[in-house]
Amino acid sequence: MTQHNHDNSSMLSQGIYIFVYLAVLTALEFGIAISFDATILLVVIALVKAVLVVYYYMHIYQLNAEHEGDEDSYEYKSGTNRIGLWLFLISDTFVFGGLMAMRLNLLGLSHPNLNQFLGLIVTTVLLVSSFFMNRGEALMHAGDRKGFITNTIVTFVLGLGFLIGVVFVEWPNAMREGITPSSGVAGAAFYMMTGMHAFHVLTGLIFLLVVLRNARRGLYDEKQYPVEAVAVYWHFVDVVWIFFYPALYLIGSIAK
């Protein structure tokens, strides 16, 4: 299907390298944010992280792949589906872009007073889940269905952990601190942005379940596009968080 299909071990090790880069950048981001005020640096780091994920985990270059065969072949249809998925992601980006514009307009260079430790934990959990998703996809393309299922289960568990961490730990925690949806714009922006993101995580988890169930029954041994689609969607949710995390936790000073 793609060029690195043939070179499975290099794809697996590439996934590990990229994950290490992402982890180091996240640690750097956090370190910078708690030591001094450097918004531009945080923006640059977020952009680098996003590019890494979009290129190496979401394989955006596959949009350019040439497909042999006529219009009714599975290969060609997968190419069309891939374009459809990316168009949807572009559209979805405008939702999150709009939320970001709302947050910048209302809060400027300040962020709600949230629990930094919790924020770092959920961010790490989501990042690790992206790593396992990538690993699962690579194994599936190499024909290792079992490896795919194991890694996808780990992804699912981590994703669920992120969702619980945000909605059932972070939200009540913030509410105890007095940041409620109606307390002011900082709270409003926080719940709206994390809520919209959590909704996407939830749909991603549902897609993961669907793909897991069908993979177990061997439906994707030949026709693997659904595996790629769910992985790309899952990484997209991660990319959104790459921007939302600094926007809500790190940049600027603490909002009143």
Residues of the shown chain interacting with other proteins in the complex, contacts defined by CB under 8 A: 66-71, 76, 79-80, 83-84, 87-88, 90-92, 94-95, 98-99, 101-102, 105-106, 181-189, 191-192, 210, 213-214, 217, 219
Q: Least Å distance between CB 218 and other proteins?
A: 10
Q: Least Å distance between CB 106 and other proteins?
A: 6
Q: Which is nearer to other proteins, 52 or 99 (CB)?
A: 99
Q: Which is nearer to other proteins, 29 or 170 (CB)?
A: 170
Q: Least Å distance between CB 184 and other proteins?
A: 5
CA distances (Å), origin 126, targets 90, 113, 132, 170? 21, 21, 10, 15
Q: How far is CA 215 from the centre of its chain?
A: 22
Report yes or no: 104 and 255 within 8 Å, Cβ to Cβ: no
DSSP 123-183: HHHHHHHHHHHHHHHHHHHTT-HHHHHHHHHHHHHHHHHHHHIIIIIIHHHHHHTT--TTT
Q: Least Å distance between CB 181 and other proteins?
A: 4
Q: Which is nearer to other proteins, 99 or 122 (CB)?
A: 99
Q: Residue 57 in 3-state DSSP?
A: helix
Q: Which is nearer to other proteins, 21 or 86 (CB)?
A: 86
Residues 253, 110: Cα–Cα separation, whole Å:
5
Q: Which of 76, 48, 51 is nearest to 61 (CA)?
A: 51
Q: Which is nearer to other proteins, 34 or 104 (CB)?
A: 104
Q: Least Å distance between CB 10 and other proteins?
A: 29
